[in-house]
C-alpha cells in the first residue's frame, strides 16, 4: 500500500499543504462513474460455488440460508467467535460436550452424519474423509441424467436446511427425531420434482424409490397417423396451426383449401380476425377422420373474412 501511494499518488513533499481526497479507482485519483462501474464489474465476477448455490429449484429461504452459511454468516458459536463475540459455546445437536462449529453441526454430529449417509449411499455418493464443502460440491457436480442432476444439486441445500431447523428447534426446547428429518428431506425432494417435472407422478416415494424413478424415467411419446382428406364438393377446408394458451386457442396460421387441394388463402393471423370466420354457419365441424385443428366450411368467397386485401 505504501509503495502504491508513493509511486502512483505521489503525495506532495512540502509541509503545510492540506490533504486531498484521492479516488483509488482511477489513476488520476479523480472519481468518475465509469471508473466506479469498472470496479464494480470486476467485483461481481461470479464464483462458481455461488452460482451453484443459487438454483431456482429450491425455496428461496433455503438457498439464502446456504449462501449465508457459505459466507460464514450464520450464528453458530464458531462464527460468532470469529466476529469477536464472547460466548460460552455448547452444542445443541448431540450429547457430547463439544464446541458448536459449522462442521460439527452439519457433518460430524452422529445424527447429521447418519442423515448424509442415508442419502449419499443410495445416490452412489462417496463421503469418506471429506470435509463439509467438499461433500456439498461433490453432490452439486454429480451427473447422471438431467432430471436426477436437478435433484442432486438441490440435495445439499435441503439436507443442510433440515439440520439447521433441527438445531434451532433443539436450542429452543423442541425435539426433532432422525426419522422426522428423513421425512422432511424426502418431502422437499418430492415437492421439487412435482414443480420441475409435473408429468412424473410422485406420491409417497422414499429416497431410494425416487432415485430409481428418475434413473429409469423414459418419457412416453404419443403419436398418431394423420392424413389430409379432401373437403366435400363446394366446400373448403380450413387448417390451422397455433397454440393452446390456458383456455384460449391462439391461431397463428390458417390455410384454406378447396376440394381440388388448391390453396385459396394462406394467412398468418391473430385470434380476433379468425373470429370473423367463426360467425355461426360459416364453419361447420367436418366429419370424422379430420384433425382437431381442421375445419370445413362452405365455399363462398364473401365468407372468407380473412382477406387481407
Least distance between Zn ion and beta carbon 139 (Å): 23
Binding mask 131-150 for Zn ion (x = CB under 5 A): --------------------
- How is residue 25 annotated by DSSP? T
90 or 201: CB nearest Zn ion: 90
Binders of Zn ion in range 156-175 (CB under 5 A): none
Q: In what helix (H) or strand (E) does residue 296 lie, and over which residues does it extend? A: strand 294-298
How many residues does the structure list for the chain?
309
The DSSP line for 47-80 is PHHHHHH--SSS-HHHHHHHHHHHTT-S--HHHH
Least distance between Zn ion and beta carbon 109 (Å): 5
93 or 306: CB nearest Zn ion: 93
Cβ(251)–Cβ(307) under 8 Å? no
Distance CA 96, CA 284 (A): 80
CB proximity list for 144: less than 8 A, separation 6 or greater: 152, 215
Closest CA to 245 of 263, 228, 270: 270
Torsion sign, CA atoms 89, 94, 97, 100: negative
168 or 261: CB nearest Zn ion: 168
Binders of Zn ion in range 88-107 (CB under 5 A): 91, 93-94, 96, 98
Question: In the numeric block, which cell numbers belong to residue 78?
Answer: 464458531
Least distance between Zn ion and beta carbon 103 (Å): 11
Least distance between Zn ion and beta carbon 104 (Å): 5
76, 79, 101, 109: which one binds Zn ion (CB under 5 A): 109
98 or 259: CB nearest Zn ion: 98
Least distance between Zn ion and beta carbon 108 (Å): 8
103 or 252: CB nearest Zn ion: 103
Least distance between Zn ion and beta carbon 96 (Å): 5
93 or 132: CB nearest Zn ion: 93
How many residues form the binding site for Zn ion (CB under 5 A)?
A: 6
- Give the burial class of 210: count Cβ atoms within 10 A of its Cβ; 0-12 exposed, 13-18 middle, 19 or more buried: buried
User: Is 115 near Zn ion (CB under 5 A)?
Assistant: no
Binding mask 33-52 for Zn ion (x = CB under 5 A): --------------------
Distance CA 293, CA 240 (A): 5
Distance CA 206, CA 187 (A): 9
70 or 106: CB nearest Zn ion: 106
Contacts to Zn ion by CB under 5 A: 91, 93-94, 96, 98, 109
Amino acid at each position: 500500500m505504501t509503495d502504491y501511494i508513493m509511486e502512483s499518488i505521489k503525495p506532495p513533499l512540502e509541509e503545510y499543504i492540506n490533504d486531498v481526497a484521492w479516488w483509488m479507482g482511477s489513476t488520476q485519483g479523480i472519481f468518475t462513474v465509469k471508473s466506479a462501474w469498472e470496479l464494480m464489474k470486476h467485483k461481481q465476477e461470479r464464483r462458481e460455488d455461488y452460482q451453484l448455490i443459487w438454483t431456482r429449484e429450491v425455496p428461496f429461504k433455503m438457498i439464502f440460508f446456504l449462501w449465508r452459511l457459505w459466507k460464514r454468516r450464520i450464528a453458530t458459536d464458531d462464527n460468532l467467535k470469529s466476529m469477536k463475540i464472547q460466548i460460552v459455546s455448547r452444542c445443541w445437536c448431540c450429547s457430547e460436550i463439544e464446541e458448536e462449529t459449522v462442521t460439527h453441526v452439519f457433518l460430524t454430529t452422529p445424527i447429521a452424519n447418519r442423515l448424509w449417509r442415508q442419502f449419499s449411499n443410495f445416490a452412489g455418493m462417496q463421503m469418506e474423509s471429506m470435509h463439509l464443502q467438499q461433500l456439498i460440491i461433490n453432490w452439486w457436480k454429480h451427473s447422471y441424467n438431467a432430471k436426477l442432476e436437478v435433484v442432486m444439486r438441490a440435495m445439499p441445500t435441503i439436507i443442510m436446511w433440515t439440520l439447521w431447523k433441527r438445531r434451532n428447534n433443539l436450542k429452543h426446547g423442541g425435539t426433532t427425531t432422525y426419522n422426522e428429518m428423513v421425512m422432511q428431506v424426502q418431502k422437499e425432494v418430492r415437492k421439487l420434482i412435482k414443480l420441475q417435472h409435473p408429468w412424473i407422478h410422485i406420491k409417497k416415494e422414499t429416497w431410494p424409490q425416487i432415485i430409481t424413478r428418475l434413473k429409469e424415467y423414459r418419457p412416453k411419446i404419443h403419436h398418431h397417423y394423420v392424413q389430409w382428406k379432401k373437403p366435400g364438393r363446394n366446400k373448403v377446408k380450413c387448417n390451422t396451426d397455433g397454440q393452446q394458451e390456458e383456455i384460449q386457442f391462439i391461431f397463428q396460421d390458417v390455410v384454406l383449401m378447396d376440394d381440388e387441394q388448391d390453396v385459396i388463402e394462406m394467412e398468418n393471423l391473430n385470434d380476433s380476425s379468425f373470429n370473423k370466420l367463426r360467425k355461426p354457419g360459416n364453419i361447420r365441424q367436418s366429419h370424422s377422420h379430420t384433425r382437431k385443428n381442421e375445419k370445413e366450411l362452405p365455399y363462398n368467397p364473401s365468407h372468407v373474412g380473412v382477406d387481407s386485401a
